[in-house]
Structure 1
Amino acid sequence: MKSLTTLALAIAALSTQQVSANDWIVRAGVTSVQPNTSSSFIAIDGTATDSKVDIGSNTQLGLTATYLVDDNWGIELLAATPFTHKIKAKGGALNGAGVGETQHLPPTLSAVYYFTNGDLRPYVGLGLNYTTFFSEDVDADLEGILGASKLTLKDSWGLAAQIGVDYNLNDRWQLNASMRYIDINTDAKITNGTNVVTADVDIDPYVYSLMVGYKF
């Protein structure tokens, strides 16, 4: 009986070591941000035009780090190299005219839930996103109308939801695919000392990722 107890304790200890050895998953791969843009009409000095704002897509290196709390729950942080987006006018007299360009980083912290514990592990997640904009530039098209100008975009806080799946190649390496929807809203302002151009923009992108992961 004593031998059986000792064996059981040894197995339990080994099991605990195996779980603790796989508490983290780090991933890297391709991430594409594809805005689902809607906006107010562009206003010049408070007077609305008949044009709105459209924001282009961009693909960069995406990174995630996930801490596994247990077999089902994890906490995930999404990061990436800076995304660069072209901003254009859509519709009306300004249709197709360049408005500007910006870079942004969208760090997102999420709770994720894994449905199974096999080699194929689908999951869902819900979290909080913070998007910071920087390196904003006014497009030459708009500067041709306004003259030298400055573009600013307000940083954004919003919810983020995701679905994804991991496929374990072995005990350490895995393939990952995921799709996110992120609530990103910003106020755009262009000034040149005389005129003020404004628009409220809901970027609300779908974010697609294909990654390779490593567990440790």
Structure 2
Amino acid sequence: MKKQFSVLPKLAALSVLAAFAAPVMAQQAGDNLVNVGWFHLKLQDSSETLRINGNPVPGSGAGVKDTDTLGVQLTHFFTDNIALSTDLGLPPKFKLNGEGTLSGVGQIGTAKQWSPAVVAKYYFGEPTSQFRPYLGAGVTYVWYSDIKLNDSFQQSLSGIISRGTSRGLKTSADLSSSWAPIANVGVVYNFDKNWSANFSLSYVPLKTKADLTTQTPVGPVHSTTKLTLNPVVTFLSVGYRF
């Protein structure tokens, strides 16, 4: 009887080891994954000189601050290695600050960016692999909403346009929409057959044109500039397979 009881701890230890050695069986043909996590947008930004009715404002510029937002990713596996992901999320708010001769106005304004994306991915390794690196390429369509210009910038622009005679002119803004390609690399760590962690990096070459319209007594005045954003997007998330 004692011998029988002494064998039980050994059998339990072997069972635990077998459980850890068992294949994970994640990400295979037909699977669907949902990931929820955090997007961080690190901008490689620059801007062209502001032009008022085509005339440049010497030394003027603008910069955009990095931002974060909550994101959701939906992925379907067509084979054990090939998948298609759709990225969605709360639109991040970008803050645009004056630079050069516009640095005195501080924050020029804010805007929300919408950029749903579709990315095709190739996963390396087998469905039983615990670590699965991947490469991807895709496309996003980007547009902007809730564009607001700060009063200090509107007053400054009003003074430039009216040559100091007025600071009460009102200005509205529009940012152009565009398609942009995506280059993507990442890795998945599978905790078990259902749960996983995902980390990815994406590069998006992105530009937008800012068109400002100032209402004056003699008609509207248009000011334009081009902004280069080129964000490097990191996404850290937790995924569930179903």
Query: In the alignment, what sits opposite 1:36?
Result: 44
Q: Map residues 67-78 of structure 1 onto 2, 5 A cutoff.
A: 67-78=76-87
Q: Using the aligned pairs only, state the percent identity.
A: 28
Partner of 2:75: 66
Are positions 1:208 and 2:234 aligned together? Answer: yes
Look up the SS of the partner of 2:215 in the other structure: coil
Deviation at 1:90, TM superposition (A): 2.0
Structure 1 match to 2:145: 134
1:215 to 1:40, Cα distance in 2 relative to 1, 3 A: same
Q: What RMSD over aligned residues (CA atoms) do the two structures have, in Å?
A: 1.5
The residue matched to 2:109 in structure 1 has which SS?
Answer: strand
Alpha-carbon shift at residue 132 of structure 1 (Å):
1.3
Partner of 1:79: 88
Q: Which residue of 2 aligns with 1:23?
A: 31
Pair 1:149 & 2:158 matched: no
Structure 1, residues 138-157: CA drift from partner, whole Å, max 9, x if none?
12221122232111101111
TM-score, scaled relative to structure 1: 0.86
Give, in angstroms, the shift of residue 96 of structure 1: 5.4
Partners of 1:53 and 1:199 within 8 A in 2: no
Letter in structure 2 aligned against 1:30? W
Distance 1:181 1:19 in 2: 27
* 1:157-195 alpha-carbon deviations (Å, 9 max, x no partner): 110111111100100000011111112211101112233
Greater Rg, structure 1 or structure 2?
Answer: 2
Question: How many residue pairs get matched?
Answer: 197
Q: Distance in 2 between matches of 1:32 and 1:169?
A: 24
CA distance in 2, matches of 1:99, 1:48: 18
Residues 1:197 and 2:208 aligned together: no
Structure 2 gaps, min length 5: 1-26, 159-168
Q: C-alpha displacement at 1:45, in angstroms? A: 2.0
**TM superposition shift of 1:19:** 4.8
* SS of equivalent residue, structure 2 residue 85: strand
Whole-angstrom CA distance in 1 between matches of 2:176 and 2:80: 39
User: Residues 39-54 of structure 1: matches in 2 within 5 Å?
Assistant: 39-49=47-57, 50-54=59-63
Structure 1 partner of 2:120: 111
| Letter paired with 1:42 | L
Query: What letter is aligned with 1:187?
Result: K
Structure 2 letter corresponding to 1:165: V
